[in-house]
Chain A
């Protein structure tokens, strides 16, 4: 019997690194921002609630998975999304999966505190 947490039962073996890279909500946010246009880590740090250093770490993980590439432009490093349907599809799947993880967890909490039923804690 599975635990109470949602689990991913989809995915494809060859895409393991891509899905692992997209398992993190901050990295999904980074990918989402890069779908609009290429950006620098500092630029993304303005819009995300994490440090530039943390974003740089996420970006290097995304680059290892082949999701982003980088170019040096003057003193800045510009990151862009690797333009392949695979990346778009994987990013879509990570987004949709993240939404369902959130909804199912909310549903579980809703059921757990139903006033018609004693709570599991007692």
Chain B
């Protein structure tokens, strides 16, 4: 099922979409939701980095940005273990108006076509080839 690996989360936020987008991407706010060491340069090819709760540093690149609707990035843990997760992964965050609030949908999936299970394909190559 490696090719179907995907995690989706949805959350309705009682705030306008512009505010949600600002909280997601404003440099002063990124650390508050993505973690204290996080970087998210919400521009095409912008840098992304964060520390996962298991201590792994995850680094990547923004693939596409459409304020205040959609942000797509690809990232991978810096240290890869042979038995570890299928990485790199692609993250797509979509904001949809819902009443006076905003529906945030995030989907993180194996970078399909770029990740070979157990194969030697590295994060760098996938990052260069993945498209938004």
**Chain A contacts to B: CB under 8 angstroms:** 1-10, 12, 32, 35, 85-86, 88-89, 92-93, 95-104, 106-111, 114, 117, 120
Determine if A111 and B2 form an interchain contact, defined as CB atoms under 8 angstroms apart.
Answer: no
Q: Is B78 an interface residue (CB 8 A)?
A: no
**Interchain nearest-CB distance for A100 vs B (Å):** 5
Known contacts A92-B5, A114-B23; decide if A85 and B54 are in contact (CB<8 Å): no
**Interface Cβ pair total, 8 Å cutoff:** 103
Whole-angstrom CA separation of A1 from B23 in the bound complex = 22
Label chain A's interface by main secondary structure. Answer: helix
**Interchain nearest-CB distance for A105 vs B (Å):** 8
Q: Is B60 an interface residue (CB 8 A)?
A: no
The chain B residue with its CB closest to the CB of A8 is B9
Determine if A107 and B54 form an interchain contact, defined as CB atoms under 8 angstroms apart.
Answer: no
**Interchain nearest-CB distance for A91 vs B (Å):** 8
**Interchain nearest-CB distance for A108 vs B (Å):** 6
Which residues does chain B contribute within 8 Å of A89, judged by CB atoms? 1-2, 5, 86
Q: Is B37 an interface residue (CB 8 A)?
A: no
Give which listed residue, B32, B98, B117, contacts A110 with CB less than 8 A.
B32
Determine if A95 and B85 form an interchain contact, defined as CB atoms under 8 angstroms apart.
Answer: yes
Give which listed residue, B1, B35, B89, B104, contacts A96 with CB less than 8 A.
B89
Known contacts A35-B83, A102-B53; decide if A97 and B9 are in contact (CB<8 Å): yes
Which residues does chain B contribute within 8 Å of A12, judged by CB atoms? 1
Determine if A110 and B85 form an interchain contact, defined as CB atoms under 8 angstroms apart.
Answer: no
Q: Kindly specify which of B10-18, B61-69, B121-129 makes contact with the partner chain.
A: B10-18
Determine if A104 and B9 form an interchain contact, defined as CB atoms under 8 angstroms apart.
Answer: yes
Determine if A99 and B10 form an interchain contact, defined as CB atoms under 8 angstroms apart.
Answer: no
Which residues does chain A contribute within 8 Å of B12, judged by CB atoms? 1-4
Which of A10, A85, A88 has the largest number of chain B CB atoms within 10 A? A10
**Interchain nearest-CB distance for A121 vs B (Å):** 12
